[in-house]
A and B are shown apart, each in its own frame.
Chain A
Amino acid sequence: MKRTPLYGRHVALGAKMTGFGGFEMPLEYAGITPEHLAVRQSAGVFDVSHMGEFVIEGPDALVAVNHLVTNIITEDLEKVTYALMTDHDGKVIDDLLVYVTAPDNVLLVVNAGNIDKDFRWVKQQLSGMDVNVSDISDDMAQIAIQGPDALSLVKDIVSYDPSDMPFMTWKTLGEGPSRIFLSRTGYTGEDGVEIYGSPDVITDLWDKTLAKGVVPCGLGARDTLRFEANLPLYGNEIGGDINPVEAGLKFAVKTEKEFIGKDALLSSLASPVKKVVGLSLEGRGIPRHGYPVLFEGREVGHITTGYMLPTQDNPIALAAVDIEASKIGTMLEVSIRNRMVPARVRNRKFHQKNTKKQEVSS
């Protein structure tokens, strides 16, 4: 398994480590619950260096990326765009963030577990275009500082005040080897930043962040936070048989432009068969990824993610279900160790987002 530049820091902090996307990553330090609460109440820092980064450069860079992804990518050099890469059947290959660093240079940030698959796909699809594609994942580290106190702390750590930057924008700070990308983005539903840079620079920023008393958070809390904020995870809410329309990501699918998989997504928009819904459990149990969901005794889908969270009264879940079982208020059942537990379809706003602009709406 691969390790991020911060691996030694995690071990020294006593983190419980786990395999994720081919990387040995911290699952938790003090525990998922205190880490989750730290991000909701003050600030937490995550090592997200496992994420993959590709650069598409050349005269056709913007045309190329617009061909690859569902959202519209413009020459706007400050904007960060969330998008999906779909195949010809409209199935999700990955979800990603797109940064246009120059009119002929685009940075794609992809999921760790999909780096090799994505890179092959991108190279293959762009083979006829005047672009060069490179995988710079090993040269780029990344941390995320998230929570209501994050922006004021970041100001001291990077000597720049990010509070005037709108959500989903970014800027370059510094030059040469010390250059970083400061991005007003995140995966928690809280205010904060993600910072990209060389392994040495990011290691230094990690140390400075911890010295400020920011709580180190592992992938366990990263998942509970993104789930509570209704942010999709590839392999759970998207991917496999769940396309972006069914996942409720229509805002990132722009049918006024051409992209791979558009026709399939148009027919899904016209006659949807499945939908990712919120569930609130009305019996005892915790709905987990993969558990069957039933409607009137018939299996109609499965849990994509579910938890009992310290910030919620009931166990809650996201589930991909047939469209006829997706209406808010519908009573379903979740099969938990062969026990049928009642669950009601609800909206997916488990948590009121505290970012200045919503990144994903349901």
Chain B
Amino acid sequence: MIKEGLLYAPTHEWLKTEGTTAYVGISDHAQESLGSIVFIELPSVGQTFKKGDAFGALESVKAASDLYLPVSGKVLEVNNALEDAPEQLNEDPYGQWIVKIELSDPSETGTLLDHQAYADVATD
């Protein structure tokens, strides 16, 4: 399932913008490919990342997988509740944001995919 109204990165994160801030999470395809998520590593508030940087990691029983920031930004908030219940990303990937960021360069969102373009990426 691909939710409309969000922007997507080819690395399977979603972005929901609100002015110059945005929420970042993972797509349903991402949680499905990972399988049961048992661990999340979150960044600290205040950290800055460039577009495409690894800002954290998700781990299933079998494997670790980096989380990539779809656009450059500074971390304003992290969803700490996921540390104790990372499986919520499996249950409700679009309802669970991972970080809230301040966009360093809002024009970067133009490089992301809409839900239709992402559908072509989320097939493997």
Tell me which of B36, B41, B83 contacts A33 (CB under 8 A). Answer: B36
Tell me which of A16, A33, A285, A337 contacts B61 (CB under 8 A). Answer: A33
What residues of chain A lie closer than 8 Å to B83, measured between beta carbons? 284
Asked if A27 and B57 make an inter-chain contact with CB atoms under 8 angstroms apart, the answer reads no
Instruction: List B11-46 residues whose CB lies under 8 Å from chain A.
Output: 35-36, 38-39, 41
Asked if B35 and A308 make an inter-chain contact with CB atoms under 8 angstroms apart, the answer reads no
What residues of chain B lie closer than 8 Å to A31, measured between beta carbons? 35-36
Measured between alpha carbons, how far is A36 from B61 in the docked complex, in Å? 11
Measured between alpha carbons, how far is A286 from B41 in the docked complex, in Å? 10
Tell me which of A32, A33, A220, A285 contacts B39 (CB under 8 A). Answer: A285
Asked if A308 and B41 make an inter-chain contact with CB atoms under 8 angstroms apart, the answer reads no
Which residues of B are interface residues toward A (Cβ below 8 A)? 35-36, 38-39, 41, 54, 57, 59-64, 83
Asked if A307 and B61 make an inter-chain contact with CB atoms under 8 angstroms apart, the answer reads yes
> Chain B binding site: helix, strand, loop or mixed by DSSP?
strand
What residues of chain A lie closer than 8 Å to B61, measured between beta carbons? 32-33, 36, 220, 224, 307-309
Instruction: List A298-321 residues whose CB lies under 8 Å from chain B.
Output: 307-309, 315
What residues of chain A lie closer than 8 Å to B35, measured between beta carbons? 16, 28, 31-32
CB of A288 closer than 8 Å to a CB of B: yes
Which residues of A are interface residues toward B (Cβ below 8 A)? 16, 27-28, 31-33, 36, 220, 224, 284-286, 288, 307-309, 315, 337
Distance between A151 CB and nearest chain B CB, rounded to angstroms = 27
Measured between alpha carbons, how far is A337 from B66 in the docked complex, in Å? 10
What residues of chain B lie closer than 8 Å to A285, measured between beta carbons? 39, 41
Known: A28-B35, A32-B36, A33-B36. A337 touches B59 (CB 8 A): no
User: Can you name the residue of chain B whose Cβ is closest to the Cβ of A221?
Assistant: B61
